[in-house]
Structure 1
Amino acid sequence: MAHVTVTIGGRAYRMACDDGQEEHLVGLGEEVDARIDQLRAAFGEIGDQRLSVMAAITIADELSEARRRIRALEQEAASERAARGAASQRLDQTEAQLAGTVISAAERLERLARELGPSPSGGVGMG
């Protein structure tokens, strides 16, 4: 297990993380620290604990909104997949109908050709 030190609100915190996750954890700490700095600039010195709670709430709000958007996008993607499936089915049905029409037309042409008999220039050699 790896250990890193993250600095948030001017205080250093030693934290454990899975091997290979050190850079990610440091980056998350930097994001939280930046959020606290933004809140401190907006509200002044209102206490570290209150700033931390406000930062956590604003981050949780962003996470909630991101989850809502993900759900909406997943629903939209599911609708698109369903529409694509329905369109594919209609295309298959149209192709089958078209194939049936072509076969029917070919059979009628063959029947007409048989009824008309051999062509005058076909079959018998001239020469």
Structure 2
Amino acid sequence: MSHVNVTINGRQYRMACEEGQERRLLQLADSMESRVEGLRGKFGEIGDARLTVMAALTIADELLDANQRIGRLEEQLNALQDARYAASERAKATQSAISLALNSASERLEKMSQTLNRTLGGGIAIG
């Protein structure tokens, strides 16, 4: 377990984090500090607790928006995957139909060739 000193709203806090997460914790604290400073610049000195709560609510609002957007994107992804699967199935069916049509045409041509060979006679082979 590592420990990092962070500054939020002008106060230092000693925070514990997992090994390797120190930089991430410092980035989170810097983000929170800049939000508090931004709110202080906008609203003035309205109290430490209130600034911290407002910053937390701002973060929660952004997180909620991000989660909703992720949900919509996941729905779109699922719809696209379903459409891709349906298109793949249609392509397989089309390939199968084309293959059957070509086989049928080949058989008809072979029969026509045999009929012509019998009709013309004389040993001339067609096809």
Q: Aligning the two structures, in what range does the TM-score lie when normalised by the shorter sequence?
A: over 0.9
TM-score scaled to structure 1, two decimals?
0.93
Aligned: 1:56 with 2:50: no
Give, in whole Å, the separation in 2 of the partners of 1:63 and 1:13.
24
Q: Tell me what 1:17 maps to.
A: 17
Which letter does structure 2 place at the counterpart of 1:69? R
Rounded to whole Å, the distance in 2 between the matches of 1:75 and 1:15 is: 38
2:40 maps to 40
Aligned partners of 1:17 and 1:9: how far apart in 2? 20
Q: How many Å separate the matches in 2 of 1:119 and 1:105?
A: 26
Following the alignment from structure 1 to structure 2, what is the Cα–Cα distance between the partners of residues 71 and 119?
76
Shift of 1:65: 0.3
In structure 2, C-alpha distance between the alignment counterparts of 1:121 and 1:30, rounded to whole Å: 92
CA-atom RMSD, angstroms? Answer: 1.5
Count of residue pairs the alignment pairs up: 123
CA distance in 2, matches of 1:119, 1:34: 98
Scaled by the length of structure 2, the TM-score of the pair is: 0.93
Structure 1 residues 31-80: Cα deviation after superposition (integer angstroms, max 9, x where no partner): 00000000000000000000000000010000000000000000000000
Is 2:103 the counterpart of 1:103? yes
Identity among equivalent pairs (%): 47
Structure 1 segments of 4+ aligned residues over 3 angstroms from their partners: 118-123
Unmatched 5+ residue regions in structure 1?
A: none
2:76 alignment counterpart: 76
Shift of residue 120 of structure 1? 5.8
Consecutive unaligned residues in structure 2, runs of 5 or more: none
Match in the other structure for 1:31: 31
